[in-house]
Amino acid sequence: GNSVTQMEGPVTLSEEAFLTINCTYTATGYPSLFWYVQYPGEGLQLLLKATKADDKGSNKGFEATYRKETTSFHLEKGSVQVSDSAVYFCALSDRNTNAGKSTFGDGTTLTVKP
Amino acid sequence: GAGVSQSPRYKVAKRGQDVALRCDPISGHVSLFWYQQALGQGPEFLTYFQNEAQLDKSGLPSDRFFAERPEGSVSTLKIQRTQQEDSAVYLCASKDSSGIYEQYFGPGTRLTVT
C-alpha cells in the first residue's frame, strides 16, 4: 500500500534560519505529491504540489522537488519567519486510486522563535 | 468564494451516543472525502463520494460509521454508539473535476467521546 514518512518533530528554529523537513514515500503507482500546512486553529491548506518526477513545487518561499529515484519530496525554505510556525504534512495521491484520495504523513510541528 | 465548511466545530458525546457531522463542500465540487485525524497524527482516509455515489468506503473503521451525500452536495458522517477511540478530528475535503487531486479542506469537527 501507500505510505508517507516524515521527519519527526518538533522542529524549533530561529528566525531567518534554513528549514528542511524530510519526506519519503512508498506508492504502488505514480503519485502526485503535496505539502499541506495547518496553522493553529485552522484547517489544512495546500502549500505546494508536484505531479511528476523532477517537478519543483513552490509557494511563499517554500520549495520541494519530486525525486522519483529517492522517492522523496523534502520541504525547504531559505529563511523562515515566525509566521511560518505551523504543522506541515507531506501527502501523496495515487492516480490509480479513486479520484486521488490522499495518504498523509504524521506531520512535523515547526516553531520559529524571534 | 466560500470554502468548505463543517459543523459543529466541536462535539462532546457520551459513550454510546450517536453523532452526526456535517460537511458543506465548495459549490460545484464533484468529489468529497472524509478523513479522521487522531491527535498527533496525519489525516487517515475514511470514505469518498463522487456526486451522490459513495465509491469508496474502505477506510471506515467499523459498521458504526456511516456517510451519505444524498443530493451530491452536503454530506453527513454519522457515528453510532460512539466509543472513546472515536475521539478525533473529522476532516472533510472537496475537489472539482479539473484539479490534479488538489483537495480543499474544511476546518474539521473535533469529536470528544467521554
Read off the pLDDT of residues B68-106 as tens digits, 9 standing for 90 and up: 999 999 999 999 999 999 999 999 999 887 656 678 999
Nearest to B101 among A36, A89, A100 (CB): A100
Q: Which residues contact B44 (CB under 8 A, 6 or more apart)?
A: A104, B35, B36, B37, B38, B59
Provide the mean pLDDT of chain A.
92
Say yes or no for a CB contact (<8 Å) between B45 and A101.
Answer: yes
The residues pairing with B6 across neighbouring beta strands, listed in sequence order, are B23
Q: Compute the Cα dihedral for A64, A65, A68, A72 and give only its sign.
A: negative
Taking the C-alpha atoms of B23, B27, B31 and B36 in order, what is their torsion angle to the nearest 10 degrees? Answer: -20
Q: Is the model more confident about B75 or about B41?
A: B75
The answer to whether the Cβ–Cβ distance between B101 and A93 falls below 8 Å is: yes
**pLDDT for A100 beyond 90:** no
By the 8 A CB rule, do B75 and B7 touch? Answer: no
- Which of A91, A101, A104 minimises the CB distance to B56? A101
DSSP A99: G
Sheet holding B19-24, edge to edge: B5-7, B19-24, B75-79, B65-68
In a mutagenesis test of the B interface, which of A23, A49, A66, A98 is the best target, namely the one with the most B β-carbons within 10 Å? A98
**Best mutation target, A44, A48, A104, to test chain B (most B CBs within 10 A):** A44
Distance between CA atoms of A49 and A53, rounded to whole angstroms?
A: 12
Interface contact A107-B42, CB threshold 8 A: yes
**Residue A66: C-alpha distances to residues A62, A111, B76 (Å):** 14, 25, 36
Residue A105 has phi, psi (to 5 degrees) of -80, 180
Residues of A in contact with B43 (CB under 8 A): 44, 89, 102, 104
Q: If you average pLDDT over every residue of chain B, what do you get?
A: 93
Of B28 and A95, more confident:
B28
**Separate counts of helices (H) and strands (E) for chain A:** 0, 12
